[in-house]
Amino acid sequence: MSVTVRVPAKVNVQLAVGAARPDGFHDLANVFLAVGLFDEVTVAPADTLRITCEGPGADQVPLDRTNLAARAAELLAARHGVEPAVHLHIKKDIPVAGGMAGGSADGAGALVACDALWGTGASRDELLDICAELGSDVPFSLVGGAALGTGRGEQLTPLEVGGTFHWVFAVADGGLSTPAVYREFDRLTPTAPAPEASPALLDALRTGDARALAASVTNDLQPAALSLFPRLHDTLAAGTAAGALAALVSGSGPTTAYLTADAAAARKVADALTASGTCRTARVAQAPAPGAVLL
Contact indicator for 125, 12 with CB cutoff of 8 Å? no
Provide the H-helix boundaries in the chain: 68-80, 102-118, 124-134, 138-143, 178-188, 199-207, 210-216, 222-228, 232-241, 263-276
Catalytic residue among 91, 137, 186, 203: 137
CB of 17 to ligand C5P, least distance (A): 7
Q: Which of 178, 216, 235, 255 binds ligand C5P (CB under 6 A)?
A: 178
16 binds ligand C5P (CB under 6 A): no
Contact indicator for 135, 68 with CB cutoff of 8 Å? yes
Task: Give the footprint of ligand C5P on residues 134-173 (CB under 6 A).
Answer: 135-137, 152-153
List the one residue out of 113, 124, 149 whose CA is nearest residue 16.
Answer: 149
**Euclidean distance between CA atoms 6 and 254, whole angstroms:** 24
Maximum pairwise Cα distance, the chain: 56
- Decide if 125 is catalytic: no
- Name the segment binding ligand C5P (CB under 6 A); options: 3-11, 130-138, 189-197, 236-244: 130-138
CB of 16 to ligand C5P, least distance (A): 11
User: How many residues sit in the footprint of ligand C5P (CB under 6 A)?
Assistant: 11
Q: Which is nearer to ligand C5P, 182 or 229 (CB)?
A: 182
Q: Which is nearer to ligand C5P, 48 or 66 (CB)?
A: 66
- Decide if 91 is catalytic: no
Structure letter (DSSP) for residue 230: T
- Catalytic annotation, residues: 10, 137
* Residues found near ligand C5P in the complex (CB under 6 A): 25-26, 28, 135-137, 152-153, 178-179, 182
